[in-house]
Amino acid sequence: MDSDLVKLAPEVLTLAKPLPKLLLGARTVIQQTPEIQEIFLRSKKEEWPVEKLALELEDPLQGHLATDNPQEVVQVARYLADEYQQIGGTALIISRDTGKAIGRITDEDLWQPSPIPRATGTLVKPPPRLRPELEGFLIRWNFERERDAKLLETLAPTLHPTDLVKEEGDPRLLAVTKGGRSHLVDQLRGRLSSLLVTAASGTVGNFLGHFVIRDGEGNSQAVSRSVTGIQDAKAMNLRFSRLGSLSSHVANDWGREIALAITVKALKSKPTVRSYTSLSQGEMSGATMWVGDPNTLVVLQRGVLSSQIILPILKAPVLLALRRPLGTIFVDPGSYECEGRELFDRWEILAKVRYSLSVDWENVRVFLFNDIPVESFPGVVVH
């Protein structure tokens, strides 16, 4: 339905600020006045500039609108002129609250209901209506837009914005509205190509720092998923960079998937199965970080790995001791994908990239233990 949203929500680029009641009144006057309708047709035929169309509309509207201020009529005329030149003479759906167009329709958007019987026994043909799915979508979209506007009105003052932020819009409020969340996804999409280098944090960033990252062909795919509850926008933490947080989340997810891929490849070297208690200080020398299953790392951190940098990776089949340089990550520059959707009060973002690895296995030591004790916690069933 996103394509329908574009069709149903034309945006008029204008500096005019008409009063809603006057704009609605002007539309009524235009519908009832063929002479004003002819002005619009002439402007299109003779290709008038928008300024001329606005001037031609002012005179017939003056005196017909409920105002004693001529400048308010000027604002209405200029808005209608901008609207006509940008949208054209198509049929529009008008908001009763703002007087502005919230939709435009064509014959394809209409359906003809079946004739209905009168009390006299005859049939009457009802007027055409919007297709039910478009009508339902429009109602929902308009409701969401009004809800988002009220949320912004309530939440904006709590952030104590400066005058400049008030004028240009507060980026901290983007996550609150549907349109803002869509804009955040667009911004994130524009950042994807730099995330592996700039946005990974903590030990994932340390791990990626072992590699050279460059463009190339990709034969594997890294995927990041994030889910944010939006059932109560007023409960959101708005005092941090949402875009920065999403960027770090995507980079860390991708980094962890790359780390898992290396542990899976390392298993193919068929390391000797042994006891974790046999890990010696000599085998640990020179390692700059360790990658392995969280349970394995928890056990080893109590002993030989107590002061080591570790990267826990779920389902990692082996433990790796890494040294720099570790090789190259080749990233397909044409493979970046990022999409968002909202479903049942959840905001989901999916980001993908294709990559391939060239690993210097001389700087990787592989360990496979068969006796790591399983950690258990209250309320958790371990199978």
More confident residue, 103 or 285: 285
In this predicted model, what pLDDT tens digit does every residue of 135-149 receive, in sequence order?
Answer: 777 777 777 777 777
Where does the pLDDT of residue 1 fall: very low under 50, low under 70, confident under 90, or very high at 90 and above?
A: very low
More confident residue, 285 or 257: 257
**Strand 273-274 to strand 110-111: parallel, antiparallel, or no bridges (unpaired)?**
unpaired
Q: What is the mean pLDDT of the chain?
A: 88
More confident residue, 23 or 89: 23
Mapped onto helix, strand or coil, the DSSP state of residue 300 is helix
Q: What is the pLDDT of residue 185?
A: 96
The angle subtended at Cα 197 by Cα 192 and Cα 203, nearest 5°, is 115
Cβ atoms of 287 and 305 closer than 8 Å: no
pTM of the model: 0.70
Q: Does residue 7 surpass a pLDDT of 70? A: no
Mapped onto helix, strand or coil, the DSSP state of residue 220 is strand
Q: Does residue 376 surpass a pLDDT of 60? A: no
- Tokens standing for residue 152: 């912004």
Question: What is the share, in percent, of the chain residues with pLDDT greater than 90?
Answer: 58
Cβ atoms of 366 and 266 closer than 8 Å: yes
* 332-336 average pLDDT score: 97
Q: Which residues are within 8 A (CB) of 276 and not within 5 positions of it... i.e. 6 or more apart?
A: 296, 299, 300, 369, 371, 372
Owner of token pair 């996103």: 2
Q: How many Å apart are CA 84 and CA 80, to the nearest integer?
A: 6
Mapped onto helix, strand or coil, the DSSP state of residue 114 is coil
In this predicted model, what pLDDT tens digit does every residue of 230-283 receive, in sequence order?
Answer: 888 777 777 778 999 999 999 999 999 999 999 999 999 999 999 999 998 888
Give the range among 86-95, 186-195, 255-264 with minimum mean pLDDT.
86-95
